[in-house]
Amino acid sequence: MTQVSAAGGARRPRAGDRAARALIAELARHNGPKTGLLVGVDAGSAALAQMSKALLPGDTLTVVPAEASAVRALRDHVEAQGRWVAERVRVVETLAEADAADVVVIGEPLTGTAEEARATVEGLAKYLAEGGVLCVAAGLTGGAAAELDRQGALFGVGTDVVVRNVPPLRVHRLRFTPADAAQATRVAPAYRPSSVPVTRGMHIDSNGVAAAGIALSIAALARVARPKSRLWLVPALAAVPVAAFFRDPERDVPEDESAVVAASDGKVLSVERLRDDRLGPDEFVRIAVFLSVLDVHVNRAPVAGKVVDYFVTDGGFAAAMKPDAEHNVAAYTLLDTAHGRVAVAQRTGLIARRIVQRAPVGALLAKGERFGLIRFGSRTDVYLPADAAEPLVAPGDRVLGAATVIARWR
């Protein structure tokens, strides 16, 4: 395996607690028994600490140190964590002693050239169980970063940028063999480090942080350019409502396996049976929800499933509550589930012109998991197999994303 170290003897970047949580998120979200493999760490690794906390009954973790000389220190460290951890964590001297695992994590960021990063990824891919995920980080620039971006384009099932790390890191989750869609029912919603917590139950999406930052930057520039003017107050005061538009509250997702939840907050516009040529010949029940500018605009998966397709259709920008919005620009995310094919359409509106979709093909989404958002007023349509789902809402009803049950599987 390629050594995870910085070229020229420079101090290599480390993954802090926030980056480590992103690295081990794939293991932490699996509720059933699973196997993990953590490589390239020492006793002080944040990834080792986070993975140890994430272990559940039935889980096992194999740890490979960054240097062979660190084996004794790692074993002593694991023993010091107590019986619970010691019974589930095995420290080996070399990668050759490890077995295939459901989740493989490189505990520290990759550095060096693209060729070195490629050799590391290809070497560790051999230790993935069928449908397993390799989790790896690198800086935002450099040869290793470019190679991981390339790997992510081919095999990525999720990525996060961890700004609050020194230096900032991009974490990639790579899957080289297909996962069974049924696995989606056994995972929890993924941890997203770029969603900034404001209170225990409320976050601000990274898009909101960026937008508020732009507004404050404009205010600062206006203050410098025209110190006697109060014009700078306009963008400064706008920063708060702009950030609030991107609020991302925690929601309690119904545990009932037969429940289908709303993909967004808003008001139900229509519930109808129809066929959509964009989705093939099957008949669907479509539940359309309008989001005003005051609603939460984070979109969530209505059911657990595997993303099998994603496409964008061209169109106009009619007001989202109008019938003409049927022909607006829309992004379709198709999920394979135990009950058939489910689709979520994110439709633009009169003001909304930007759709964000963060779930690449191959990703597993838990029910209620965040997968994107639409900026400003918009509409989401949930398509359910007509013969498999019974709608439970009607036009005019108010719904909350991930919390309101909008249909039930028959």
CA–CA separation, 267 and 299 (whole Å)? 14
Other Cβ atoms less than 10 A from the Cβ of 409: the count is 18
CA–CA separation, 268 and 320 (whole Å)? 12
Other Cβ atoms less than 10 A from the Cβ of 241: the count is 11
Let me know: does 290 contact 265? Beta carbons within 8 Å. Answer: no
Find residue 313's DSSP bridge partners.
330
Let me know: does 47 contact 23? Beta carbons within 8 Å. Answer: yes
C-alpha 322: how far from chain center: 31
Let me know: does 260 contact 253? Beta carbons within 8 Å. Answer: no
CA–CA separation, 385 and 156 (whole Å)? 28
Cβ-Cβ contacts under 8 Å for 183 (sequence gap 6 or more)? 131, 306, 364
β-strand 283-291 against 266-275: which pairing, if any? antiparallel
Residue 318 burial class via C-beta count within 10 angstroms: exposed 0-12, middle 13-18, buried 19 and up: middle
Cβ-Cβ contacts under 8 Å for 345 (sequence gap 6 or more)? 330, 331, 332, 333, 380, 381, 383
CA–CA separation, 208 and 204 (whole Å)? 6
CA–CA separation, 292 and 295 (whole Å)? 5
Residue 251 burial class via C-beta count within 10 angstroms: exposed 0-12, middle 13-18, buried 19 and up: buried
Residue 378 a catalytic site member: yes
Catalytic residue among 45, 52, 194, 378: 378
Which residues are known catalytic residues? Answer: 378
